[in-house]
């Protein structure tokens, strides 16, 4: 019996020893390895700097900045630096004069027949008493025809109606058309004079055209549109950005020129306008251009300063050759205010022609008559919209037909 108990005790002790060895072995396996005597510190990979490429695997070979040809990068020794150029906008082909006239006539007839219809309605009354004639006068004056031209037109209409007697609608329309044409005038030369002149040294002087007017009338835009008209008719043009007192005027004119391949001569902002105009004509002579268009200043600190500057520009330019045309740009919607502007400009420079902008819309049409009477010079160009080709020669017949309608 004692032997059995002793055997059990020995078995228990042996089992405990074996279990302890296994647990100890497992604990040794779970413990972390002891730190090395001299630990090695490895620095993290450096962040790529601006302009360097990150260390990423790629299939194609790496290219340097010089090989890529980025702007501002220095080319390796012996290699040519890459040339970075701005894209050149394509040169536009402006619409020919004949094509735009058809479109402008249609637009004019849609917007300018209020005056004519009002007059035809009044003249169609069975009895034309004094009250009716006063209404006719009021209609004409309201349309910016002016007092003196209105009185002249009414007197002529009185006589013609008296002789005519019975008045059919067709007869009245023909009567009114004839009288309006007489008032506007059909004999004046309305062409823009762009012919050059020979110089004493044998060089040909381009035709010189000055464009004047106050800011806000569309002066610079009209200069650009006129360049398109001339280019469409086969002339080469140089633009002179002599409106140096208005911010971005030179940029605006240069944009117009670039669109049709015309060079723009410009100077520093607030620089001498006369100097720019002189250089523009000089460049036109050197390039053999047909026409030089000069956009002048439209505003200075005082009216006297502006007028003196315009006179100086004209005198300086004429050292090269004669100025063939001085066009006054007027906003047709300003009515009588436009006449005041016309008087001021006519005192300083010899106005040879008038450009009426914004003749559609709220313009009343009679300003054509009034401004011609005021200055004694013809309306040569009219603008009927914001489009690049919405400038065309003025045609009295087409204008009157638009006024009185079909």
CATH number of residue 281's parent domain: 3.40.50.300
Among 61-65, 256-260, 293-297, 368-372, which stretch is predicted with the lowest mean pLDDT?
Answer: 61-65
| Range from 106-115, 188-197, 254-263, 350-359 carrying the lowest mean pLDDT | 106-115
With the CA atoms of 280, 281, 287 and 288 taken in that order, what torsion angle do they form, in degrees rounded to the nearest 10?
150
287 and 159 in a single domain? The answer is no
Residues 120, 222: one domain? no
Q: Which residue has the higher pLDDT, 304 or 121?
A: 121
Position 153 scores a pLDDT of 92
More confident residue, 161 or 59: 161
Same domain flag for 246 and 287: yes
Residue that terminates a domain, selected from 184, 209, 244 = 184
Domain count, the chain: 2
239 and 313 in a single domain? The answer is yes
Q: Percentages helix, strand, coil for the chain, rounded to the nearest 5? A: 50, 10, 40
More confident residue, 5 or 49: 5
Token code pair at residue 142: 């309201």
Tell me the average pLDDT of the chain. 78
Q: Does 388 lie in the same domain as 280?
A: yes
**Tell me, what's the pLDDT at 6?**
52
Q: Is 146 helix (H, G, I), strand (E, B) or coil?
A: coil
Nearest CA among 22, 124, 107 for reference residue 389: 107
Domain range for 292 is 197-395
Q: Are residues 315 and 350 in the same domain?
A: yes
pLDDT(190) > 60: yes
pLDDT per position as a tens digit, 199-246? 666 678 999 999 999 888 889 999 999 999 999 989 999 999 999 988
Bridge pairing between strands 379-383 and 391-393: antiparallel
Q: Which helix (H) or strand (E) holds 174?
A: helix 169-184
Question: How many C-beta atoms lie closer than 10 Å to residue 55's C-beta?
Answer: 8
pLDDT at 2 over 60: no
The pLDDT of residue 283: 95
Assess whether pLDDT exceeds 60 at residue 25.
no
Least confident of 42-56, 72-86, 220-234: 42-56
* pLDDT at residue 183, rounded to an integer: 92
Q: Which of 149, 184, 219 is the last residue of a domain?
A: 184
Q: Which residue has the higher pLDDT, 367 or 7?
A: 367
Mean pLDDT, residues 72-89:
48
Residue pair 95/229 in contact (Cβ under 8 Å)? The answer is no
More confident residue, 6 or 164: 164
Q: pTM of this prediction?
A: 0.74
From residue 364, give the alpha-carbon distance in Å to each of 136, 144, 403. 15, 7, 10
| DSSP letter for each residue of 326-391 | EEEEEEGGGTHHHHHHHHHHHTTS---EEEEE--STT--STHHHHHHHHHS--EEEEE-SSSTT-E
Q: Give the residue with greater pLDDT, 114 vs 300.
A: 114
Report pLDDT for 285: 94
User: How many Å apart are CA 274 and CA 392, to the nearest integer?
Assistant: 29
Query: Which positions ≥6 away from 223 have C-beta within 8 Å?
Result: 211, 239, 253, 256, 293, 295
Nearest in space to 237 (alpha carbons), one of 25, 94, 360, 364 = 94
Structure tokens at 366: 């009679």
Residue 85 belongs to a domain? no
Shared-domain flag, residues 153 and 223: no
Do 165 and 209 lie in one domain? The reply is no
């Amino acid at each position: 019996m004692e032997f059995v108990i002793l055997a059990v005790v020995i078995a228990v002790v042996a089992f405990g020893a074996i279990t302890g060895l296994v647990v100890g072995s497992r604990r040794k396996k779970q413990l972390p390895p002891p730190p090395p005597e001299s630990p090695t510190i490895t620095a993290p990979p450096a962040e790529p700097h601006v302009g360097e490429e990150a260390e990423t695997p790629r299939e194609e070979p790496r290219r340097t900045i010089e090989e890529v040809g980025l702007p501002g990068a220095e080319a390796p020794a012996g290699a040519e630096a890459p040339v970075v150029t701005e894209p050149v906008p394509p040169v536009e082909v402006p619409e020919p004069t004949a094509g735009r006239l058809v479109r402008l006539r249609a637009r004019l007839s849609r917007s300018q027949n209020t005056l004519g219809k009002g007059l035809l309605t009044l003249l169609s009354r069975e009895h034309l008493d004094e009250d009716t004639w006063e209404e006719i006068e009021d209609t004409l004056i309201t349309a910016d025809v002016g007092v003196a031209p209105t009185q002249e037109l009414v007197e002529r209409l009185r006589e013609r109606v008296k002789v005519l007697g019975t008045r059919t609608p067709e007869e009245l329309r023909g009567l009114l058309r004839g009288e309006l044409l007489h008032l506007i005038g059909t004999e004046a030369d309305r062409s823009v004079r762009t012919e050059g002149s020979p110089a004493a040294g044998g060089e040909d002087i381009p035709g010189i055209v000055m464009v004047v007017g106050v800011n806000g009338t569309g002066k610079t835009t009209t200069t650009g549109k006129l360049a398109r008209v001339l280019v469409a008719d086969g002339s080469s043009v140089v633009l002179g950005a002599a409106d140096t007192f208005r911010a971005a005027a030179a940029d605006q004119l240069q944009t117009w020129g670039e669109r049709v391949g015309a060079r723009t001569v410009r100077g520093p902002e607030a620089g001498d306008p006369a100097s720019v105009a002189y250089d523009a004509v000089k460049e036109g002579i050197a390039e053999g251009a047909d026409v030089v268009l000069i956009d002048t200043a439209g505003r200075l600190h005082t009216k006297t300063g502006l007028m003196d500057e315009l006179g100086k520009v004209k005198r300086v330019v004429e050292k090269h050759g004669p100025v063939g045309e001085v066009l006054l740009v007027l906003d047709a919607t300003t009515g009588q205010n436009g006449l005041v502007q016309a008087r001021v400009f006519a005192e300083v420079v010899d106005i040879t022609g008038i450009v009426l902008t914004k003749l559609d819309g709220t313009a009343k049409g009679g300003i054509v008559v009034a401004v011609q009477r005021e200055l004694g010079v013809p309306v040569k160009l009219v603008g009927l919209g914001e489009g690049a080709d919405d400038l065309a020669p003025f045609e009295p017949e087409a204008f009157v037909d638009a006024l009185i309608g079909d």
